[in-house]
């Protein structure tokens, strides 16, 4: 019995890993999709020095907020890719019929989505931080908050993407559903950087972001799986 259980776990792990690799491979073969959201992120942030003021002191003050809001929008833009292609070609249907728990498969898909659309945002943040006049410790903190926060965005976003699957104008609907739920992440993400630059304690903010991540990783795959079953009906 114990042996059978461990065998089951192994096959589940193997299936989970093939799901992650599948989505990474697909993203590599459709690089343009990934690059457009990254350019979107870069361009939105670059508009602020032009539109608000090139004055470094002003930019430094708004930088964490601007970069975080741009990251929210970029991560939301990429949500469309998460399930809709699979829905259209019938592979989502097949995914629902796998002999594996659907929420585990969903977690694999979200992880792949974050690696492709969230991690690049974290890696690009220093470049934008320099452009907005942030110093190196603030940039480090910004990257850390993004590293903790962007997976939460992908996880919450997956629920919205699953709920609006197959709905006409789903893209706009996703933003209405998901953006309000992004607010706590935004508040504590920018709050940590602001606290850090003004010399205050920022550990509380980071702990809360970490707590959001743990909660989201535990709960959202279940909600997403349920939403997918309803959407495919």
Nearer to another protein, 55 or 93 (CB): 93
Is the Cβ–Cβ distance between 72 and 153 less than 8 Å? yes
Shorter beta-carbon distance to another protein: residue 10 or 53:
10
Instruction: Return the number of the residue (30 or 211) whose C-beta is nearest another protein.
Output: 30
Residues 6 or more apart whose Cβ sits within 8 Å of residue 148: 189, 206, 209, 210, 212, 213
Considering the complex, state which of residue 25 and residue 207 has its C-beta at the smaller distance from another protein: 25
DSSP 124-168: HHHHHHHHTT--HHHHHHHHHHHHHHHHHHHHHHHHHHHHTTT-T
Q: What is residue 101's DSSP assignment? A: -
d(CA 154, CA 159): 9
Q: Least Å distance between CB 174 and another protein?
A: 23
Strand intervals (E) in 14-108: none
Both tokens assigned to 192: 């940590």
* Nearer residue to another protein within complex by CB, 91 or 136: 91
Q: How far is the CB of 77 from another protein (least distance, A)?
A: 20
Residue 103 CB, nearest distance to another protein (Å)? 12
Q: Using CB under 8 A, list all residues that contact another protein.
A: 11-12, 14-15, 18-19, 22, 25-26, 29-30, 88-91, 93-101, 105, 232-233
Residue 113 CA, chain-centre distance (Å), reads 7
């Amino acid at each position: 019995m114990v042996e059978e259980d461990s065998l089951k776990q192994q096959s589940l792990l193997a299936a989970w890993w093939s799901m992650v690799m599948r989505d990474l491979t697909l993203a590599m073969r459709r690089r343009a999709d990934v690059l457009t959201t990254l350019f979107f992120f870069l361009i939105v942030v670059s508009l602020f020095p032009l539109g608000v003021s090139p004055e470094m002191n002003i930019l430094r003050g708004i930088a964490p907020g601007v970069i975080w809001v741009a990251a929210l929008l970029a991560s939301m833009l990429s949500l469309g890719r998460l399930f809709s292609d699979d829905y259209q070609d019938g592979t989502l249907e097949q995914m629902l019929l796998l002999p594996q728990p659907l929420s585990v498969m969903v977690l694999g898909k979200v992880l792949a989505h974050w690696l492709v659309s969230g991690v690049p945002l974290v890696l690009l943040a220093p470049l934008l931080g320099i452009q907005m006049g942030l110093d190196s410790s603030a940039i480090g903190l910004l990257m850390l908050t993004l590293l903790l926060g962007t997976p939460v965005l992908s996880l919450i976003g997956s629920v919205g993407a699953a709920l609006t699957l197959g709905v006409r104008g789903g893209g706009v609907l996703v933003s209405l559903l998901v953006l309000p739920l992004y607010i706590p992440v935004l508040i504590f993400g920018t709050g940590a950087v602001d606290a850090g630059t003004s010399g205050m304690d920022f550990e509380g903010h980071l702990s809360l972001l970490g707590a959001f991540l743990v909660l989201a990783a535990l709960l959202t795959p279940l909600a997403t799986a349920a939403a997918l079953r309803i959407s495919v009906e």
